[in-house]
Each structure stands twice: as structure tokens, then as C-alpha cells.
Chains A and B, each alone.
Chain A
Amino acid sequence: MAYGMAVSRQGFDVKNCADFEKVFDSRWKCLKIEYQGTYTVGASSSIQTIYTHGLGYAPFFMAFLKNTSNRSVLTISDFDGIGGVDSYGKLIRVNSTSLVFDNSLGIFNGDVIYVYVFVDQINEAITESLVKTTSTSLGASGGYGLKVSKAGKDVKTATGKDLILSTEYATLQINQVSTGSHNFSGGVLNISHGLGYPPQFYFYARDLQADGRWEMIGNSSITAPFLTVKASSSQCTLDLGAVGTKDYTLIVFKDPIT
């Protein structure tokens, strides 16, 4: 017998709302955070360990750079890199043991990064879990809800960042994880998602720096193509140029970016 549980966001009827209007549904997963914390890059000209995760597989990760204005930006979104490096994205990489910062060139010292390492495996495929993609009108808001706090925090008084989830807030629910190898020298990679709208998505690729590690891919490269990653209402596209055959992972969330 299959059991299950689903909770919608406040104001939506869980029985007929769109997938992205739920907080969670046991038919699909959310990214769960294994570790979050700050790392300050040392002056050493080396590959520096940010976090040893010990998961035994390469996990999803995200990193945010504190820039020279003391503001933060997703590292793949940073453009005006320091020391002639066009993007921080390719400097932060993961394998089955650790997340690292590549300071091999020795041009970084004191840069501050905030990292998230997730529990979820970067190259474990998840079949598309499409159920309902059309939004519904608001149901009775009713005043029902669910909150789960972090361990050690009182759910009645915890603020947003100290809650695991709340029906007041949207979560990033995974629609699919697509993995494989592709010869990028032979053309771009297109992966269907079937959502009917452009979704929130991220691409990762392995071994672009010839060390077997995974990196997150953004548009911050200064070499063509300028639009490295993109989405449409039917597919996501990765264009790495003539790098040969590389492993890739695409994670697609249920949230529309329209």
C-alpha cells in the first residue's frame, strides 16, 4: 500500500493546486541542506577544502560570493571576477568527499563565500514527477498551516530561517534530475522537462577542469557562447562549446520563472 502526504502553501487547496503551490508532496523531493557556512579563501596557491562532507557521493551545492561592496551574489552569477577570472563558479567544485575552492593561481586571499552543501546526490537521476502544472485560484485561506522548526528551536517563536518548512513559504520542490554524458563538441544539450513553462533550473558539469569534480554552470563565461544555459517552456539547454564529452546533471524545480 502506498502512503503519502502533501501540504499546500497557505491559501491553496492541496487537493487541486499546482505542484509548485505545495510546500511538499511525498511523491517528489526537496533539496535538503547537509551543511551551510562561511569560508574565507586563504592565500595558499592550492586547491583548498571548504567542507569535507563525507557523503560518499558528490552532492548538489550552491555558493554565494561576498563581493567588494559587501553584497552577496550566487557565484555563477558573479560576472566581474577578480584577478582576471571571469567567474567564481568554476572555482568551487565538489566530488564524493569534499567541496573545494581552487586557488591554484594564487590570486585570491580573504574572499568570503557562503556555501550550501545538500544531502541530495548530484548525479542520481530522478524521473520527472509531473502531476499538475496549472495554477488554481486561491482557496479558502482558512488559517490552517504547518510549521516544522530546526532542532533546538521553538516552532511557535522561530523566525523564517530557523524553520525547516512552513506553509507560509514556498520550497524548492524537485521536478526531475537528469544526468548523463554528452559530446558538447557535437552540439548543444537539450533536455525536455514537460512542465509547459520555463522552470527554475541549474546545470552542473563534471571534469571541466580535468580533476573529476563537478561545478555549477552559469552564463558568466567571457568566452562564447554568452548564453550558456537557458530554458524554454519545453526544455533546458546547455551549451559548453567544444569541450568534448562531459558528464552533466540538470536539476529542474517545479517553480515557474515566468
Chain B
Amino acid sequence: MAYGIKISKTGTDAKTAANKDLVLTSEKNMFKVKQSGTTSYTFTGSEPSGATTLATIAHNLGYIPAVTVFFYDHTNNAYSHLSYVFDFSGGGFREYISYEVDSTNLIIYYNSEGGPPGNWSPYQFTFKYYIMYDEGQ
């Protein structure tokens, strides 16, 4: 026997509404946030070459989940999505912050594509992450 639930938007009949007009229906899955939170990183000193891990957040799901990460750039007062392409030292694009997730951890990292080292200090980021129960691979 099939059970289920449908909830329509206010003013719409749940019995006849198209799926896109429903608030939820047990026929269609939705993203569920397993964990979300913020983590910060302050750059100091001279930038390294290559990749540097800025934060590691454990989720321990045992599979790769869908994850999105946003950031706040304190220096430039900007909220946006990772990846973030920027330039500490001037002279053109070559640095970015991004993230990736495996079956255990979410990793936020910095990477430089080379060029003369710039000065990181002071440069602060706060990251907001959403780790879903739903698969990301």
C-alpha cells in the first residue's frame, strides 16, 4: 500500500495542483541539510605557492554529499559563492579559494597559480557551508 502526503501552497488545491505548485509532496525528494555552519580563516604573512587547506569540516556520511559553500570577504565586504577568484598581490588573476568534498570531509582550500608572492596580511574570510544528506556523487 502506498502512503503519502501532499501540501499545496495557500490558495491551491492539493488534490489537483501540479507538482511545481506544491510546497511538498512525498513523491518528490527535497534537499535536507545535515549540517551547516561557519568557519573563518585569516591570511597572514606571505602567500605560499600551490594549494593550502584553510578548513576541514567532518561530516562522516560515508558517501559524498551535495555541498554548497558561501563566503564573506571581510576586507572587501562581499558575500558570494565559492569559488572566489581574487588577487592578493596585484598584477592580474592567479589566486582562488574553492572547496571539495569526499565521503568524510569538506575541505576549503586556497590555491595559487604561481607568480611572485604577495602579502596576505591582513585578509579574513568567513565561510558558510551547507552539507546535505543528499548525494553529491
Contact = CB atoms under 8 A, between A and B. Distances in A.
A164 B134 contact: no
Contacts of A198: 70, 72, 79
Interface string B97-108: 011111000010
Interface of B: 2, 4-5, 7-11, 19-20, 22-34, 36, 38, 64-70, 72, 78-87, 93, 96, 98-102, 107, 111, 128, 130, 133-137
A32 B28 contact: yes
B80 A33 contact: no
Contacts, number: 201
Contacts of B31: 30-31, 33, 171-172
Q: List the 8 closest A-B pairs by CB distance, nearest first.
A: A160-B133, A71-B100, A32-B28, A170-B33, A198-B79, A169-B32, A72-B136, A257-B70
Contacts of B135: 36, 114, 161
A32 B22 CA distance: 9
Nearest to A37: B135
A131 to B, nearest CB: 12
B79 A4 contact: no
Interface in A210-258: 218-222, 226-227, 229-232, 255, 257-258
14 contacts: A2-B11, A5-B23, A32-B28, A70-B102, A116-B66, A119-B28, A165-B32, A166-B32, A171-B33, A226-B87, A226-B93, A227-B78, A231-B80, A257-B79
Interface in A93-151: 112, 114, 116, 119-121, 124, 148-151
Contacts of B65: 72
Residue from A2, A73, A220 whose CB has the most chain B CB atoms within 10 Å: A73
A69 interface: yes
Contacts of A71: 64, 100-102, 107
The CB with the most chain A CB atoms within 10 A, among B86, B102, B111, B137, is that of: B137
B83 A114 contact: no
Contact of A151 (B22, B26, B67): B26
A189 interface: no
A184 interface: no
A24 B9 CA distance: 11
A67 interface: yes
B10 A27 contact: yes
